[in-house]
């Protein structure tokens, strides 16, 4: 069993509590599904949000989704001019037998432009 990093991002349509919660839950589910994992496989999860997202904590959405015993942390992305707006990013650390090359990173909706090489993979985007 190894520790691997899972990456993902989703661009939200708006800054609202529902958009942040629903988008974060959807991204987490797609990341786990794409890698055949469950919440119990996660060691810790770091969430970031662009500075224009202020309506809810992405980690609170993960708690709502049942991640009550996984360490979670939120941070704000750097406010870089021209950066993609309304984006929640996730870096999850997981225990898995998957080799690094078989980990599927997930980029949903407008966030697919951040990593087109990853978005084309299974589970990469809609």
Which positions are annotated as active-site residues?
Answer: 7, 63, 74, 77, 89, 107, 115
Q: How far is 24 from 57, CA to CA, in rounded Å?
A: 9
Q: How far is 113 from 92, CA to CA, in rounded Å?
A: 20
Q: How far is 86 from 5, CA to CA, in rounded Å?
A: 23
Hey, is 62 helix, strand or coil? helix
Contacts of residue 48, defined as CB under 8 A and 6 or more positions apart, other chains included, come to: 74, 75, 76, 77, 88, 89
φ/ψ (deg, to 5) at 87 = -115, 130
């Amino acid at each position: 069993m190894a520790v691997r990093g899972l990456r993902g991002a989703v661009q939200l349509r708006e800054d609202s509590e529902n958009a942040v919660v629903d988008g974060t839950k959807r991204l987490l589910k797609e990341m786990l599904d794409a890698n055949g994992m469950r919440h119990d496989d996660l060691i810790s999860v770091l969430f970031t949000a662009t500075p224009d997202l202020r309506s809810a904590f992405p980690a609170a959405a993960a708690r709502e989704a049942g991640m009550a015993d996984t360490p979670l942390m939120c941070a704000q992305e750097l406010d870089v001019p021209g950066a993609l707006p309304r984006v929640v990013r996730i870096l999850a650390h997981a225990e898995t037998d998957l080799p690094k090359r078989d980990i599927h990173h997930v980029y949903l909706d407008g966030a697919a432009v951040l990593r087109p090489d990853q978005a084309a993979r299974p589970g990469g985007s809609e």
